Amino acid sequence: MTAIRTHTVIDSPIGALTLVAAGDDLCGLYMAEHRHKPDESTFGDRSAAVFGEVESQLTEYFEGDRTEFSVPLAPVGTEFQKRVWDTLRTIPYGETWTYMELAQTLGNPLAIRAAAAANGKNPISIIVPCHRVVGSDGSLTGFAGGLERKRFLLDREHGGESDVLF
């Protein structure tokens, strides 16, 4: 039996965030103008009932008081995508990896494009920190919420400054 989906929209320093849950598990976090955002008709009814802890942890993150998230997640994707998304969660707060490092950590340095594609389709942005992956020269590349938001998140994690090129 499939869990009933619900959603809510919260304010954040990077604009409105749409949170989607399947039962009690977070299965989506989408920014305004989010590339690869599913059709909103799949988000279920609007209800803030199950999102209190997610909203609290996101507030703590944006205030600089949280470096890891502990909410239950249920991303929907292929087995490979889920492996990539699990691996993204191991990138330490305030650090960045290149797409090559991501592919190497997955055990296949030739899978750079596949890892990058899975990274780009991450349905739970911020909490699954796809923003921590940068180009081989350290430049900001591809982010479903736009490069300005990626810069903001990286700057926030670097204490207001980022050594990542823009």
Annotated catalytic residues are 130
Lookup: tokens for 142: 């591809």
Query: What whole-number distance in Å separates Cα of residue 39 and Cα of residue 150?
Result: 23
- DSSP secondary structure string, 68-133? S--S-B---S-HHHHHHHHHHTTSPTT--EEHHHHHHHTT-TT-HHHHHHHHHT-SBTTTS-GGGE
The 10 Å Cβ neighbour count of residue 42 is 13
Q: Which residue has the tokens 């670097």?
A: 158
CA nearest to 75, candidates 132, 32, 36: 36
